[in-house]
Each structure stands twice: as C-alpha cells, then as structure tokens.
Amino acid sequence: MSEPSPTPTRRGRLLRFGGAVVVLLALAGYLTVQYLTGGTGAPRCKVVSGKGDGASYEFTPEQAVNAATISAVGTTRGMPERAVTIALATALQESGLRNIQHGDRDSLGLFQQRPSQGWGTTKQIMDPTYAAGVFYEHLAKVPGYSRLPLTVAAQRVQRSGYPQAYAKHEPDATLLAAALTGRAAATLTCEGRPAATPAGGADSVRAALVRDFGRDVLQEAGADVASAGTSASPTASADASASSATAGAGSRTVTVPVREEATSGTSVQQRGWELAHWAVANSSTLHIERVSYAGREWTAGDTDSAWRGADAKGGPAAGKSAAEVHIVTGQ
C-alpha cells in the first residue's frame, strides 16, 4: 500500500527548505569565487589623492598588478603621466583592469586588442607588458594626444563603439597614475595578504621588476651590465644585475637603486615612489612583506595598510635613503 502524499503545507515547507539550501550553496560558491578572483572579501588596495581632497579609489590586488605594469611600461618608454592616465582609463573601461581571455569577437586582454586587427598574436596580447607597450606605441602616433580630451585620445587608439565610456574612468585613472608614476608619494596601499597561487621570493621580485621596467632597473648608475643583453629573459637579466640589487641586505631583501630618469626628467624622489608603489601593488602576488623608502614604510597585514615612519631599528630595510627602495619578501 502506498504512503499518503505529503500535505500541501508539508510540501511547501520542503520546497522552502530546499530553496534556502540552494541559495546558501550559491552564496557560498559566489563568495569563494570572489575571494579567489579578487572580489568581495579579498584583500584590497586603495589609492588616495595627494591633494588632500578626500578622493580615493579601491581596487583588487589583480587590478593593482595590472595597473602597475601599465604605468611602469609607460614611464620606461618615456611617456608622460597623461599617457599613463589615458592607458589606465582605457583598460578600466575595456577589461576592468583584468587580463581576460574573452571579449567582443576576438578581443582579448587588458585593452581588448584583436589579433585579427594586427595587434599581435593571442599569446602576445595576453602578456600585460606587451599589451601595454603596443597601446603606447599607437598612442604616441596620435598628434597632440596629451592635449586632447581623454575620450578622444583613447578612441583614436581603440576605435571603440562606445567612445564616451572612457570618460567615467578618468578620475580613478588620474589617481592611479599620480601614485604609480610616483608623483603623489605614499598614496597607494594594499592589505598584502598572499595570493592563492603566488610565485614569491626575492628572485621573483627581481624578474618582475625587469619585466615591467626593463633590465636597467636593477643597475646602479654607471654599472656595466652589458652582458645581460636586451634579448635576455627577465630572470636572466635580473640575475645579471643581482649583485647591484641586494646590497648585502639578505636573501629576502631586494634593494633597488633609485636615480633620476634622464629620459623623462623624473626626479629621484618621484622615481623612488614609483618603484615603492609598484612593489606594494605586487605585494600579494610576490609575497612582499615590507616596502621602505625615504623614511616611510609599508607593512603587509597592517590594519590600515598605511605608510608609516620607518623603524629606526630596521637597519638597511628602514629605507631612510632616497637613493634606494627596500623590498622585503616572505620567502
């Protein structure tokens, strides 16, 4: 004999319970994905205005790494801060500063560049350093780009179907560019919790520096590293300059020499803050625990991630000299 079917009231309770379980599982999955991909609940980064007007922008470690690469590639090419702002606003609109593998038709990467339109191969475009470099190549060919409205300059490069969309990102891009080019000192911070699958350690920091800034970034002024060669890999180039970059500070510390950039006219202080902010932006990915420059220090896991006065007992890592940036890794 079959059992009696559930009453409507009981059936309703079962459906509500089942629905609640599904919602909870979906929420748990969403939060997990967001944490792993740099969304809600993930360690955060923040840039504030150097003008003291209260303007700020919060973003994820993934976005911070990509923004730092875009800026570094631009300044290394001698591009002005305005060019970096244009590039950052463009990437914010096109990809949200994420190196995505999809887009409209065959668009890819930070700037949604298309292999079919001559921007490069899929592999090249998915390399943020290459993608930023080829964007700047095209931007440099736009007559008077630095005096054009940002939307116009970006559109001359991108040929977007929504050219006015770039404008909404200009305030955030301006804050990022001021910090990442080093003009606005001690304005970029991150929580700095390690990423889920990072590559860390001093060697990785050196390789990443060379990748974004070029092989001369670890070279002392006047030092001869010709043997590194322009075609050398980032790791090989970094290793060729390792003796200049450690300065006896220990295997976990990378000491980066700071000098005035003749090609762009960047001062020592601005160059130093550019390198220091780059390190903080890469802190989660590269397991960077502390960055020190010119008497100020950032420490991973600090409750407010602020730049504080360097500890006098910190030795070389206290970073009181404007001629060096000290980066201490966790490995």
Contact 77, 46 (CB under 8 A): no
Q: Which residue has the tokens 């559109």?
A: 155
Contact 109, 125 (CB under 8 A): yes
Structure tokens at 9: 């009231």
Q: What is the pLDDT of residue 238?
A: 41
The mean per-residue pLDDT over the stretch 315-331 comes to 74
Asked whether the predicted pLDDT for residue 225 surpasses 90, the reply is no
Q: What is the pLDDT of residue 231?
A: 35
Report strand pairing: 188-190 vs 308-309. unpaired
| pLDDT single digits (tens) 114-153 | 898 888 899 999 999 999 999 999 999 999 999 999 999 9
Look at residue 135 and give its three-state secondary structure: helix
- Categorize the per-residue pLDDT at 263 as very low, low, confident or very high, splitting at 50, 70 and 90: low
Asked whether the predicted pLDDT for residue 325 surpasses 90, the reply is yes
Output the CA torsion sign for 89, 198, 279, 216.
negative
Q: What is the pLDDT of residue 159?
A: 85
Asked whether the predicted pLDDT for residue 41 surpasses 60, the reply is no
Q: N- to C-terminal Cα distance for the chain?
A: 69
- Categorize the per-residue pLDDT at 42 as very low, low, confident or very high, splitting at 50, 70 and 90: low
Q: Note the Cα 259 to chain centre separation in Å.
A: 22
| pLDDT single digits (tens) 270-310 | 999 999 999 999 999 999 999 999 999 999 987 677 899 97
Write out the E strands in the chain.
Answer: 45-48, 56-59, 188-190, 253-257, 288-293, 296-299, 308-309, 324-329
pTM of the model: 0.78
Write out the E strands in 131-194.
Answer: 188-190
- CA angle 256/260/262 to nearest 5° reads 125
Greatest mean pLDDT among 9-23, 41-55, 59-73 lies in: 59-73
Q: Which of 69-78, 167-176, 310-319 has the lowest mean pLDDT?
A: 310-319
Asked whether the predicted pLDDT for residue 242 surpasses 60, the reply is no
Q: What percent of the chain has pLDDT over 90?
A: 56
Determine how many CB atoms are found less than 10 A away from the CB of residue 221: 11
Q: What percent of the chain has pLDDT over 70?
A: 69
Q: Return d(Cα 288, Cα 322) in angstroms, integer.
A: 20
- Categorize the per-residue pLDDT at 101 as very low, low, confident or very high, splitting at 50, 70 and 90: confident
Residue span(s) of the chain under CATH 1.10.530 come to 45-181
CATH 1.25.40 is held by the domain 45-181? no
Phi, psi angle pair for 297, to nearest 5°: -145, 135
Helical segments of the chain, H only: 8-37, 61-76, 81-95, 122-125, 128-140, 150-158, 170-180, 202-213, 234-240, 242-246, 268-281, 283-286
